[in-house]
Structure 1
Amino acid sequence: MAFDLASLTRRPITTTDAAALAELLNAIEVVDDFGEYYSESDAADQINAPLLDLDRGTVGAFDGDRMVGYSSAAHKPLAEGVHRVVVSGGVHPEYRRRGLGAQLLAAGIASAKVLHTIHHPGLRLAVDVQNNALNDSALACYQAAGMTPLRWYSHMRHPLGAAIVDVPAPEGFVLEGYSGDNDPEFYAVGNEAFLDRRGGVPMPLEQWRGLLGWQAFRADLSFLLRDADSGAAVGMLLTFFWDADTEATGVRDAHFMRIGTCRAYRKRGVAGALISHALRSAQDNGFDRASLEVDADSLTGANGLYERAGFTVVRTEVGYTLNV
């Protein structure tokens, strides 16, 4: 497709762009295979993320009313040592190989610098991106911008059915579903557990509220494990489901977005029991499979846990970083 880069309009993304963003993301998915499809409401959830600075952190490239590319920089409200700003973006397949991707990546890096100056000027800045490991053109774009590969992520799936390994809750622990009453405990357990991720910092409450406000959140498939004696919440699992994925693929996928165990209760079967119960619940609720993403070099050994539960790797994504 012939077009002039100079003819494209570039401006911050606004809350009225949800339909255009969903159309763009779905066109990208056909080629790049992230396993994600978007409805207009899903795109609106992304745009309306509580901590996303639309004016300073986003750029949309438009050909008339059609969004043909975008970049988005998300700063960290809390950071220690290094402020890691995550930049995401993409270009419509019909508009590739003209330099638009490089321009949008440069815009994302520039946005990251602006946000860093505002929020954490006293820390070092690292700009992180992530893409399908098979997307050679995107990886070449990152390398041309001076970015280097840092981390790999495994996208894993479970077929449910006979592959489910039944793991009962450890003796002295009880399972319970998500509710408004135990929401603070889900939040607290998740924050403690995720501190052990590389660069892990607590999730601000505002961001937590935004995440659980997505239409995709499945409270009925999200679970907490509690120590019956002390009453302490020790593990949690959050599940999400996107209708748009099913409409595009015909497959109902229960995505385990966050799984965590408090440090003092690890190696005691907490996560295994939560995963087993969630898999069985997904099966009973008519889902076709379950999925999750994990750091391929997880510091807590999560990869082995998921493999023992019956998950297998279906796609790898690679994270690149730029130390500024």
Structure 2
Amino acid sequence: MPSDLTGLTRRPIAATDAATLADLLNAIEVVDVFGEYYSVEDAADQINAPLLDLERGTVGVFDGDVMVGYSSAAHKPLAEGTHRVALSGGVHPDYRRRGLGSELLATGIASARTLHAIHHPALTLAVDVQNNARNDGALACYRAAGMTPLRWYSHMRHPLGAATVDIPTPEGFVLDTYTADTDPEFFAVSNEAYLERRGGVPMPLEQWRGLLGWQAFRPDLSFLMREAHGGEPVGVLLTFSWDADTKATGIRDAHFLRIGTRPACRRRGVAGALIGHAVSHARDQGYDRASLEVAADSRAGANGLYERAGFTVARTEVSYTLNV
């Protein structure tokens, strides 16, 4: 390991870097504790995200053939008013406190500017990054770059087992599961439910296909609620489970990545029933735990909904933003 950064090389991340990226992310997890472990296949899912511009939006830092740091900027293909570019990145614990994190953050912001100029030059640009709220080093790095805290997120967990509460399906609704036939309805409801969170623009179909193409997607634990009369879909829940997490921790976790209800159908028990149904099915299929993430300041009151279903906060993450 070099005492400075002069022996390191930098280049865009390539599809062939999945194995060394997975090793880097797992080394970061040991110290930063996101609750996320990666297999080579999981890292490949990240690298091969349909809308990620590897050449313009990513940089890997290498010591020989080993990736020791990275930066990734993901632009929004559709945006209104403000174009929000999401950054991710990290440095191997053995290579920290030598300025590499600050360098990679600056690189990510520069990548965001480049992507913004290509895709949405007429809009304003905001650069966002999210990290564990206890990662003092990363948060200090964000502040030094002029970023300010924007939002806090609660990562919540449910122990399943005896803690599982049966929540009946509201009268007038029925449940369906994810299949190729119901996929268009899942997509439509998810887009409408998340529209305000995405700045008023829908998720592109290509991005949806990429998300559901992850090996972690669990269609048998993903549910659609529809009106009993007429069959109109009103709410969705998508579940993912990462085998690398199970291997590393011994805990089989069902992660509810997306839970959404169409605005016109909210406050009718749809989300609560979807969660209760998914929790019960996860328990019955032998999962050890269920988890989800929610904005801690959720205007929809989601925190209380999840607490009533038996979830408790396990950790908090914070997002920082830079208005460019």
Aligned equivalents of 1:30, 1:50: Cα separation in 2: 29
User: Quick check: 1:147–1:320 contact (8 Å CA) kept in 2?
Assistant: yes
**CA deviation vs aligned residue, 1:243-277 (integer Å, no higher than 9, x gap):** 00011000000000000001111111101110000
3-state SS of paired residue (1:257): strand
Q: Is 1:196–1:299's contact at 8 Å kept on the other side of the alignment?
A: no
- Residues 136-195 of structure 1: per-residue CA shift (max 9 Å, x gap): 000000001000011000000000112112111111111011000010000010010111
State, as a whole percentage, how many aligned pairs show the same letter: 79
Q: Is the 8 A contact 1:189 1:235 kept in 2?
A: yes
Matches within 5 A, 1:152-171: 152-171=152-171
1:223-302 alignment, distance < 5 Å? 223-302=223-302
Q: Could you tell me how far apart the structure 1 residues matched to 2:72 and 2:4 are?
A: 23
1:194 aligns with 194
Residue correspondence of structure 1 range 48-197 to structure 2 within 5 A? 48-197=48-197
Q: SS of 1:19's equivalent? A: helix
Does residue 306 (structure 1) correspond to residue 303 (structure 2)? The answer is no
TM-score, scaled to structure 2? 0.99
Distance 1:232 1:188 in 2: 11
> Given residue 15 of structure 2, which amino acid in structure 1 is its aligned partner?
T
Tell me the TM-score normalized by structure 1: 0.99
CA distance in 2 between counterparts of 1:139 and 1:91 reads: 14
- 1:44 is paired with a residue whose SS is helix
Q: Aligned partners of 2:110, 2:281: CA distance in 1, in Å? A: 45
SS where residue 129 of structure 1 aligns? Answer: strand
Whole-angstrom distance in 2 between the partners of 1:229 and 1:266:
18
Unaligned runs of 5+ in 1: none
Q: CA–CA distance in 2 between the matches of 1:142 and 1:81?
A: 24
The alignment partner of 2:41 has SS state of helix
Q: Give the superposition deviation at 1:198.
A: 6.6
CA distance in 1, matches of 2:177, 2:157: 23
Query: Alignment partner of 1:45: what SS?
Result: helix
The answer for the alignment partner of 1:3 in structure 2 is: 3
Listed one character per residue, the Cα deviations across residues 101-142 of structure 1 (whole Å, up to 9, x for unaligned) are 000000000000000000000000000000000000000000
1:201 deviates by 2.8
Deviation of residue 299 (structure 1)? 2.1
CA drift of 1:6 comes to 1.7
Closer/same/farther in 2, CA of residues 200 and 318 from structure 1, 3 Å limit: farther
Q: CA deviation at 1:2?
A: 4.5
CA RMSD of aligned residues (A): 0.9
Q: Aligned pairs, how many? A: 324
Runs of 4+ that moved beyond 6 A: none
Q: Distance in 2 between matches of 1:182 and 1:198?
A: 23
Q: 5 Å matches for 1:208-227?
A: 208-227=208-227
Cα 1:112–1:54, aligned 2, differ >3 Å: closer, same or farther? Answer: same
Range 124-133 or range 187-196, more displaced: 187-196
1:301 deviation in Å?
1.4
Contact kept? 1:28, 1:91, Cα under 8 Å: yes
Q: Which runs of 5+ in 2 are unaligned?
A: none
Residue 200 of structure 1: CA displacement? 5.0
Letter in 1 for 2:135: N
Letter in 2 for 1:150: L
Distance 1:231 1:175 in 2: 10
Q: Is the 8 A contact 1:155 1:293 kept in 2?
A: yes
Amino acid in the other structure paired with 2:136? D
1:4 shift after superposition: 2.2
Distance 1:233 1:159, change over 3 A: same
